Chains A and B, each alone.
Chain A
Amino acid sequence: MSQPLVPDLFATCKVLTGAILWVVQQILLALGAVIPPLKDLGNWLASDPVVSAVTWLVVMTVMLLWAVLINLLTMMWVERKFYSRLQDRYGIMVSIWSLPIWPFNRKDRPTHKGWGYLQNVADGMKLLQKENLTPRGADSAMFHMAPVLIASSTLMIFVALPWSSGFVVAKPDLSLLFILAAFSIAPFGILIAGWSANNKYTLVGGMRAAAQLMAYEIPLILCVIALVFTTGSLDVYEIVAQQERTLVTLGPLAIPAWNLFGPQALGAVVFAVAMMAEMERIPFDIPEAEAELVEGWTTEYSGMRFGLLFGFKWLRMIAGAGLISILYLGGWTGPVFTVVQVAGIPVPIIPEEVWFMLRVYLLSVVFIWISWSVPRIRIDQILQLGWKRLIPLSLLAILLAAGASLVGW
């Protein structure tokens, strides 16, 4: 049985917030001896509704920092190093000793033999300094609205996408539908971005995104329908809990009852292919085919707006890999070998978060591997693939799932 490191993100953050606000209250009470109104302010800050309200902000900030700052940067670094190895080169190797400021500017250290992890941070700093250009003739309001729409809807996925049974911001009843709904907003932002920039390359990119949308969104939803035949629920906790049992025992190995092993195998494959189109990885990245359209629908964006649109593709990849592992690969379930007591709090050696991250990163590496090994397909080929292959296959998956649930498999 698995065990989470953070049983309840809100309760954990409330302890932290309460401690910080208590310190602020003590400072204000000490100052209140001189200025009396500060005493009331301090007591108001430490009252329970205020602590709860501040905790919500802290919870969201923790999730944002975790998802964006840590996982997005790590995933970009993993991709850059991994495709460099596939192309038989080292990739980014700038080390921290190449910084020109004091503790790092040591002459005896090599500057270009590091891991290159901070290269993405440096790229982000460079993008922050760039000018924000608006092309002449562009629809300025819509042009600046599109990155907001894409970035906010991508972050909205992480409101309901759990990293373990406790590490999640909100638990809606229909969390799977919520995640899919948040996924489906971004193509509209892509179309707005492509149209409003008044450039033929962005326009073609946006139109391709709209054409591609129908080709992969329908099989994606059909696969979820096939899955619901087995699970009978749209709640991701319920779906993961059903996969936390043993299917068969082969000697010392206990095969878990993941949805992948069983009548859902076809649906899992179709879902993964449609998800690759959803996150615009290379075989399906025709909306920004940089060989034909300069940079696709992001051509006219500059500075950090381009950085947001470019970087959030990786965030969507993390969310897609997380969704696949929740639906088909058992989510965060996994064995806990030992539980250590640290100051009375049980800390599992391998918590659920680690198992989930392991699946997410392995799946992402598989996606990266595929996308740097195969050529980009044409727009008519992806429509053909979507309408003529994936939709019949997902209908077949529904048929299989319905038949399997009929015979009680």
Chain B
Amino acid sequence: MDWELVAFLVLSVLEVVGSILVVTNKRLVRAAFWLAMTLVTIGGIYLLFGSEFIFLIQILVYAGTVPILFVFGLMLTRTKIMDEPSTEEGT
């Protein structure tokens, strides 16, 4: 079989599974990790199309953006910061 087809199938499966996990995962860190994974696999598909520049820009831009999105997700979703009950009782 063609290796490019195999690489494309593996990348797309990872991407679809990752993007589903981004929205279904309850833990914020794991959602951020799967988001980064999805974006990097999209970059890998760009690389398969022969556009190395877009692949590098994808990693450069989105690997820098995921932490920022993560911080926004943290601020907007009112998630529990720590497992200890004492931090939640204050407010």
Contacts and interface: CB of A to CB of B under 8 A. Distances in A.
Contacts of A178: 56
Interface in B45-62: 52-53, 56-57, 59-60
Contacts of A145: 33
A195 B29 contact: yes
Contacts of B70: 191, 195, 210
Contact of B67 (A172, A181, A209): A209
B68 A181 contact: no
Contacts of B1: none
Contact of B52 (A172, A187, A198, A213): A172
A184 B40 CA distance: 13
B83 interface: yes
A212 to B, nearest CB: 10
Contacts, number: 69
Interface in A175-224: 177-178, 180-181, 184-185, 187-188, 191-192, 195-196, 198-200, 203, 207, 209-211, 213-214, 217, 221
Interface size class of B (residues with CB under 8 A): 20 to 34
Nearest to A203: B81
Determine the main DSSP class of B at the interface with A.
Answer: helix
A195 B56 CA distance: 27
Contacts of B29: 139, 142, 192, 195-196
A177 B60 contact: yes
B71 A188 contact: no
Determine the main DSSP class of A at the interface with B.
Answer: helix
B64 A177 contact: no
Interface of B: 27-30, 32-33, 36, 52-53, 56-57, 59-60, 63-64, 66-68, 70-71, 81-84
26 contacts: A141-B30, A172-B52, A173-B52, A177-B53, A177-B57, A178-B56, A180-B60, A181-B56, A181-B59, A181-B63, A184-B59, A184-B63, A185-B63, A187-B64, A187-B67, A188-B63, A192-B29, A192-B33, A195-B28, A195-B29, A198-B82, A203-B81, A207-B71, A213-B68, A214-B68, A221-B60
